[in-house]
Amino acid sequence: MLIQDPIKAYQTVEQDLLVEGADPHSLVQILFAEFLVNIELTIAAIERSDLAAKSAHITKTMMACHLLASSLDYDRGGEVAVSLGEIYEWSRRKLLDASIKNSVPMLQEVHQVIGDISSAWNMISAKAA
């Protein structure tokens, strides 16, 4: 089988290697990065009226949102986990609504909120090192 898109194949292998050697904290960082990049790609697709790309990127964003929500440890995380769960559910609903309405401002709002959480998560990593 020939590889149709060698760049995409390389990126997939590179991503697999990142995930394979990652600790749980780093895996969450990767999910945040995927979430944010795919929102940006969704916005770009909406701006150029590329509905196929919009659909592909919003799907990846929603998958990252689902995985972030699934990774919450409610037993150890307590109120923080509950709050994050509520934010992820809000994000999921907002992403769905933004996709239906092709709303860049709604996507930017979700990007801002998740970007702030991602930044805080990255600071935890920096302090631990």
pLDDT in tens, 7-58: 554 444 445 544 556 788 899 999 999 999 999 999 999 999 999 999 999 9
Per the domain annotation, does 117 fall within a domain? Answer: yes
Report the distance separating Cα 112 and Cα 107, nearest Å. Answer: 9
Whether the pTM exceeds 0.85: the reply is no
The conformation of residue 13, written as its DSSP 8-state character, comes to H
pLDDT, position 17: 43
Domain tally, the chain: 1
Report the distance separating Cα 89 and Cα 125, nearest Å. Answer: 25
Report the distance separating Cα 94 and Cα 105, nearest Å. Answer: 11
* Residue with the two structure tokens 């919009």: 54
Per the domain annotation, does 3 fall within a domain? Answer: no
Q: Mean per-residue pLDDT for 72-76?
A: 94
In terms of residue numbers, what domain contains 83? 23-128
Per the domain annotation, does 90 fall within a domain? Answer: yes
pLDDT, position 24: 85
Helix, strand, or coil (residue 53) = helix
pLDDT, position 23: 86
